[in-house]
Amino acid sequence: MPFRRALAPFLVAAALLAAPAVVAVPASADNSSADSSTEIDVPGQPLGVAAGPDGELYVSDYNWAGGVSVYRPGEAKASRQIKVGRWPTSLAMTADGTLYVLQVTESMETELGIVAPGASEVSATIPLTQGSQWLAAAPDGSLYVTSPSEGTVSVVLPGSAHIGRVIEAGPSPVEVTVAADGTAYAANQYAGTVTVIPAGATGPSHTVDVGRTSSPHGIAAAPDGTVYVANVLSNDVAVIEPGGTTVARRIRVGREPQEVVMAPDGTVYVTNAGDNTVSVIPPGADHASHAIATGEDPGRLAVTADGSVAVVSRGDKNLTVISAGPAGPAPAPVPSSEPLEAAADDGSRAGAGDGGSAFGTGLPVIAAGAGALLLAGAATLVVMLRSQRKVRRVEPAAVWTAE
């Protein structure tokens, strides 16, 4: 049991990075709003997505051969391919058009690939600690890299090809967002907290308790500094007001929300992996106005300069592009039969008391030197936390079933 407890932060971090297809019945999605969407089939196993300053979309192919497909605005076929390292996962694009790719070498060592604006291949790499990391671009052009296994956030300064500083966060910081004023917020999934890092600081100022059994994952900051945190287990979005030290309110969304992004007009979009939908929260609203259907198992999102939102559907292997447009007035929320509260800490959830059965057994691990690299497609935290439902998991090399 102590061994499983020690592994828990690593498994939580690796699981959602490339959660494969989830067998789930989509919830009723209200598409009667002004929103319109287009589906784009993409090659291989799409995972990461980023939007360029010119409106292009970049999609990583989570396979040994790797690659990043580039789609011009309004086009359904890739205009070009970028050669990157093996098993590319997370992507981030800075304002000057520099693309960062989380990838591994042939010897399975984790590294950060740097693609210059307009280039067709990686021009430089930065070695990283082993394990799964997530990337986020800051408004000033810096790149932030979370390391769940190390409990840290690393910063690459604009134009640099090395790590500028490493900041201690909490247990298993899976994602990070940077507000307009340079304050960084890291979602610590295993601890159920958000670490607040002031601009330019070498350490955090404080943490905000989101709820250990909520399992915070995706995180986004609004222009005014309001922070939105998607909680996988409590099926809500926690809202932290600018400068706040506690959660101000919670917004009910769909089942198993994983990722959240902020559009230029202040609209918040949240992927619900359990419903195959995206919840839409109008600017300043305290509830979602409606949901938009996506492909199977929606994951990462990216917002283009015109406000369109691209959603990776990992199960159907495509992109759902939601056209830019006002979300419209928010109607009264539909009453829910479920109480708005975090999942019970009964030992069957991530971060439960004994740290044991939540993660199951037999997770594929690839050794690299003295450490172990948990590949992004190893499992899905959402699936592992469903003890009552059979789930089909799809991996690059195998298909297997688990309770």
Beta carbons of 161 and 114 less than 8 angstroms apart:
yes
Six-digit token pair at 358?
Answer: 């939540």
Bigger pLDDT: 91 or 383? 91
Distance CA 376, CA 14 (A): 5
Distance CA 398, CA 152 (A): 32
333: pLDDT strictly greater than 90: no
pLDDT of residue 166: 95
288: pLDDT strictly greater than 50: yes
369: pLDDT strictly greater than 60: no
Which of 134-148, 250-264, 372-386 comes out lowest in average pLDDT?
372-386
Indicate the pLDDT class of residue 59, thresholds 50, 70 and 90. very high
Tell me the average pLDDT across 9-36: 42
Our separate counts of H helices and E strands in the chain read 2, 32
Distance CA 284, CA 55 (A): 26
Indicate the pLDDT class of residue 247, thresholds 50, 70 and 90. very high
pLDDT of residue 325: 62
3 contact partners, CB below 8 Å, separation of at least 6 = none
Beta carbons of 60 and 52 less than 8 angstroms apart:
no
330: pLDDT strictly greater than 70: no
Tell me the average pLDDT across 284-313: 95
Indicate the pLDDT class of residue 87, thresholds 50, 70 and 90. very high
| Residue 163: count of CB within 10 angstroms of its CB | 17
Indicate the pLDDT class of residue 222, thresholds 50, 70 and 90. very high
pLDDT of residue 91: 98
130 contact partners, CB below 8 Å, separation of at least 6 = 109, 110, 149, 368, 369, 371, 372, 373
Distance CA 373, CA 381 (A): 17
Mean pLDDT, all residues of the chain: 78
